Amino acid sequence: IGEERNEGKEYMEDFYDTETRKWRLVYHFGGKIWDKSGFKEGYDSLVAIPTFVTAYARCYLWSLIKQAGYKENVFYCDTDSIFVNKAGYNNLSDHIDQTRLGYLKPQPEGLMIIHNVKDYVFNEERNIKGVRKDAEEIEESVFKQRQFVWFRTALRKGSVDTVEERKVTKHLTRKYNKGVVRADGWVDPYELIDGLTRDELVAGQLKYDKKCDAAMNEIARHEGGRALKLMKSDFYDADPLLNREEQKEDV
């Protein structure tokens, strides 16, 4: 419906059309302004169905991991696969079938090196999300490869009628942040206390200590040398400055 002056920006916005007296939704993309008004879910579309299927698949995979023995027999899992040792394989024998729908298809045994999520080597075959099989490893965790230019980039450059490639260098940090990696390579899950991890609890404790010190100084200044006794058992207790029912003691 129009040209975009700033071709580098991409965003959606609502605005009120004074002529039609209706709200319109427009999309700024690729140097153009597109009218998205009137678009809605199809009659036969129901988002709840794929949502349930995905959630069920996750729960089913977790049940298989527990059956295999996730603390000692499971090394890695992906969307639809589990890497286990011999004991874990035997524990899953009633869920293994070459052709049966919903069952696990057996794969060859081999040596596996796990670097991170979707980043591993199995039987000397590299599997890294976002890194091509023919990518050149110029140094450890650094890969150089050719990849197609994204459609949005091509649209901004006005070259949607051609296929364009470019050379890119990818640096992998290989820092695992979904659990605590032990020295022996096994991963302990984060332990949540009131919905917080250990690192967040430590940060919360420090923040709370500073809050307590500031509150005590403020109360002592306002109450003539008398301060509230502040309990540190709960990081997220009510603001000590407002909690006047705590026991008072001399400073």
- Cα angle 238, 240, 244 (rounded to 5 degrees) comes to 100
- Rounded to whole angstroms, the Cα distance separating 17 from 26 reads 11
| Predicted pLDDT at 168 | 93
Predicted pLDDT of residue 165: 86
The pLDDT score that the predictor gives to residue 250 is 41
pLDDT value for 82: 95
Which residues, including other chains, have CB under 8 Å from residue 191's CB and lie 6 or more apart? 197, 198
Provide the pLDDT for residue 213: 64
Q: Is 236 helix (H, G, I), strand (E, B) or coil?
A: coil
Phi, psi angles (nearest 5°) of residue 198: -65, -40
pLDDT score recorded for residue 127: 94
Give me the half-sphere count of Cα atoms (radius 13 Å) on the Cβ side of residue 143. Answer: 20
| Per-domain boundaries in the chain | 2-35, 42-104, 198-250
pLDDT along the chain (251 residues), means of 10: 61 80 78 74 85 95 95 92 96 95 93 94 94 94 90 69 86 90 86 68 65 58 44 38 41 40
